[in-house]
Structure 1
Amino acid sequence: MHCQAGQVTVIVLAMKPRVLVLGDQQSMVDAAVKLGAEVWWAQHSERVRPGEAAATAVTLLADYTEPAFVDLVAHLHLLRPFDAVVSIQEHALLSLAALNERLGLSGPGRETVRIVTDKWAMRTRLAERGLSPVAAALGRTADDLRAFGAERGFPFMAKPVAATGSFGVVRVEPDEVEAVVKRFAGTGASAFLMEEYLDGPEISVESFTFAGRHVVLALTDKLIGQGFVEGGHTVPATLDEAVVAEVVELVGTFLDAVGLTDGPSHVEVKLTSDGPRVVEGHCRRGGDRINELVRLAYGVDMEELTVAWALGQAEPLAGPPPALRASAIKFADAPCGELVAVTGEEQVLADPDVTEVRVLYEAGQHIGPVRWSGDRAGYVIATGSTPEEAAARAAAGAARLEFGVKPAGPSSVRPEDRNLSRENDLSRHVGYQRTDGTADD
């Protein structure tokens, strides 16, 4: 832009906003580029795939979970200031929050992220506020499990104190106590969370917070599959208006309790016979392609909104958006073994209401039992005029996918639980010592 000031011509250069994206989510990079930003991308060196960094101005090959990374970015900020730091990766949120506070940027703060990451801290905070009562305790031994069962009754739930992707969640029966302790010990965990068993169906609530005001975007039905790992989701959830109002009020109070002031959230809720109860919450959009389900059903892309709000380029939503249609995802079942081939994809895509089909394994890879969300073999996303219609179309599509496998040798078996837990377990970052000697920094 040029402007005349007497005989002097002043040239004002329009600078692109600068965004730092943490973690391996290409869609966040794409959203920032779409908004006209200069994108810097932080990623572990072993996770950068060919061509993936093409849209970024700078790629930082670093472990963004380490405190030293926060210092590095703070120094870079002095030279090339960042207008926003964003991420939707669970394991990146603690660093994201530290950077938000240190650089004075919009987004969740460290205390908020710590509370929702540490499930025991979350239960403690809710108990202090008298909100969503759920009996819970921190356990370390078989005696702890037996004592909790004796006091609260069997069965009850046990899970890692800070993990994601439904990894390690078990229902504890009286005759399974020793096996449960052995399982947690095998992953290197020194502590686990024990919670009363909550009856009823589970849903999730997708929201966005604008300067302290929470707007619910969607309520999502869950289909729970093997090992308490989700087998599918449908948007919107089919619920009575009175239940919806109760859930919306609970989630808003929960987000206030953990101190979320800006950005997306994903809160899991059980609809028990005693009313809705919070299972856990996250300061990010939901996984399992829920962002795509919300976009299809309501026309709101939570990833793009996250970047735009952080950059000051989005107006706050006045209220929940109207539904345009229903959408659903169904994860495909597959036998264990070495994948040879998958058939049926073309037939599934022939349905005009199917919007996406994806197989998550390549030929030669080993398909194992479903222990967490990363173990699922593939999925189908479909739309419909009603939730029931969308869910039926997605389920029919997933059933058409046929996975041809052959028995795999020992060398093809995937990593043991300890290695898998080490990647998904965030407890060391919030102060829990692991039995392998690592703790938070």
Structure 2
Amino acid sequence: MARNALILIEGHRGNGPLYVQAAQRLGLHPITLSTNPTQYEYLAAENVETILIDTDNLDALVQECSRLRATYGIAGITGFAGHDESVSATVGKLCRYFDLSGPNPASIEQCCDKFVQRQLLAEADVPIPAYRVAANAADVESCAAALGLPVIVKPAVGSGSMGVRLCRSTDELAEHTAYLLDGEHMWRSQPKVLVEEFAEGPAYYAAVMGHEVVGIGAADYNPPPHFVYRECTIPALLTDEEHKRVADVSLSCLPALGLDWGPKSIEVRWTKRGPVVIEVNPRLSGAPTPQLIKLAYGVDLISEHIKLVIGDEVNLRKRESQVAAVRFLVADSEGTLDWTDGASRAAAVTGVAEVRLYVEPKAPIVRKGDYRDCIGHVVAASPSHAQTEAILQRAVASIGWSITSP
């Protein structure tokens, strides 16, 4: 009898190995299709069956999956958006073609364009920041003038906080507009810039599966003008009423965007108006959010997502009650990473669940003002917020590094 395969479109530095391991635990044979498999080190390390293919070419993917179906039973197809959201839509199209469980590709595509997403949320009366869209520098300037400084300026299509900046003056606005439109920012499509009001207030994110809010986390960023994660904690310190309001506004996004299937991550700011939706991502959050959910609640979102993909029954019942948090290690300068020290000491601290360094010594460090500024993370869990925070402080204090300026 043919083995059942789980087809994974592209990979992911954080979640990728977890999907491979979860698939194997569920008795599936994971196969990764990628344009550049060598960028995902775990594929070779874990001896994952891998096929080199242009994942932007839907016809080629259909042909390859049809070929694989002659050898395997294809139980399901999923993938990793990473920092190219179009992968999620491609997965949806493949699932439709092979009559498998998966997301609606049209809903994914309209959600990935943040301007279209904003329009749909506004039409459904979901609270969002005031916004405008611009195609050139003059448009950006007039949009900012209409909204009033400070404003957030970012690409309408993108993720990982790439190209996102708070502009507090006309000089900062001109500088960032030039960065986006004059060749430094990499556009995968026609340049389209979103200009929106700066929604000030505590940041939260809701991890959603189907129509259920699995958990709400608190997000803390390094100081503006960029939005680089410093720390995330699950569950967030919210009253029952605040939790309900964040959950309700998060779930109100789903019918507006046609997202009735699978995992979503919804970012919210608690402003003077109450909870305001900043962004809806039609996918599972990147690592280590799934690990935080598992530590906090005992719910393995990755295994449950795979079950949904292959048509099995999903179980989101909470079995733990812990406070889990991650502290990101952010490069404090540019240059060459000379050395790192103390990761093993940090890992030995009671309550620490994971210590990961993303870069090796002698690697170049170039700060971009986005997720690429993070050089590692520490994950911890305990029964209380104060204890988890103390564990993180102790563990992070054990880790050192040196960057030599060029």
3-state SS in 2 of match to 1:228: coil
Task: Output the CA distance in 2 between the equivalents of 1:396 and 1:140.
Answer: 47
8 Å CA contact retained: 1:86, 1:306: no
Task: Output the CA distance in 2 between the equivalents of 1:62 and 1:164.
Answer: 23
What corresponds to 1:344 in structure 2? 342
What corresponds to 1:36 in structure 2? 27
What corresponds to 2:403 in structure 1? 405
Task: Output the CA distance in 1 between the equivalents of 2:46 and 2:401.
Answer: 33
Find out whether 1:179 has 2:175 as its counterpart. yes
8 Å CA contact retained: 1:380, 1:395: no
3-state SS in 2 of match to 1:82: strand
Q: Which moved more, 1:375-384 or 1:307-316?
A: 307-316
| 1:370-391 Cα deviation digits (max 9, x unpaired) | 5211221111111121123213
What corresponds to 1:98 in structure 2? 93
What corresponds to 1:148 in structure 2? 143
What corresponds to 1:62 in structure 2? 53
What corresponds to 2:273 in structure 1? 274
Find out whether 1:286 has 2:279 as its counterpart. no
Alpha-carbon deviation of 1:339?
A: 1.4
3-state SS in 2 of match to 1:83: strand
Q: 1:365 aligns with which of 356, 363, 366?
A: 363
What corresponds to 1:392 in structure 2? 390
Q: 1:122 aligns with which of 104, 113, 117?
A: 117
* Larger Rg over CA atoms: 1
Equivalent residues, number: 388
Task: Output the CA distance in 2 between the equivalents of 1:270 and 1:322.
Answer: 28
What corresponds to 1:84 in structure 2? 76
What corresponds to 2:307 in structure 1? 308
3-state SS in 1 of match to 2:284: coil
8 Å CA contact retained: 1:327, 1:384: yes
3-state SS in 2 of match to 1:256: helix
What RMSD, in angstroms, separates the aligned Cα atoms of the two structures?
2.1
Task: Output the CA distance in 1 between the equivalents of 2:166 and 2:266.
Answer: 21
Distance 1:305 1:217, change over 3 A: same
Task: Output the CA distance in 1 between the equivalents of 2:93 and 2:158.
Answer: 19
Find out whether 1:137 has 2:149 as its counterpart. no
Task: Output the CA distance in 2 between the equivalents of 1:285 and 1:347.
Answer: 31
Find out whether 1:240 has 2:236 as its counterpart. no
Q: Percent identity?
A: 23
8 Å CA contact retained: 1:74, 1:102: no
1:425-436 paired onto structure 2 within 5 Å: none
What corresponds to 2:256 in structure 1? 257
Alpha-carbon deviation of 1:337?
A: 2.2
Alpha-carbon deviation of 1:322?
A: 5.6
| 1:148-186 Cα deviation digits (max 9, x unpaired) | 222221111111111111111111222322212111023
Alpha-carbon deviation of 1:188?
A: 4.7
| Structure 1 length-normalised TM | 0.83
Amino acid at match of 1:82: I
Amino acid at match of 1:346: S
8 Å CA contact retained: 1:33, 1:55: no
What corresponds to 2:351 in structure 1? 353
Task: Output the CA distance in 2 between the equivalents of 1:75 and 1:17.
Answer: 14
Q: Which runs of 5+ in 1 are unaligned?
A: 1-12, 409-441
Task: Output the CA distance in 1 between the equivalents of 2:145 and 2:366.
Answer: 35
Task: Output the CA distance in 2 between the equivalents of 1:275 and 1:176.
Answer: 28
Task: Output the CA distance in 2 between the equivalents of 1:274 and 1:106.
Answer: 38
What corresponds to 1:297 in structure 2? 296
Alpha-carbon deviation of 1:359?
A: 1.4
Task: Output the CA distance in 2 between the equivalents of 1:50 and 1:174.
Answer: 45
| Structure 2 length-normalised TM | 0.89
8 Å CA contact retained: 1:332, 1:399: no
Distance 1:237 1:340, change over 3 A: same
Q: Which runs of 5+ in 2 are unaligned?
A: none
8 Å CA contact retained: 2:295, 2:320: no
What corresponds to 1:206 in structure 2? 207
8 Å CA contact retained: 2:233, 2:324: yes
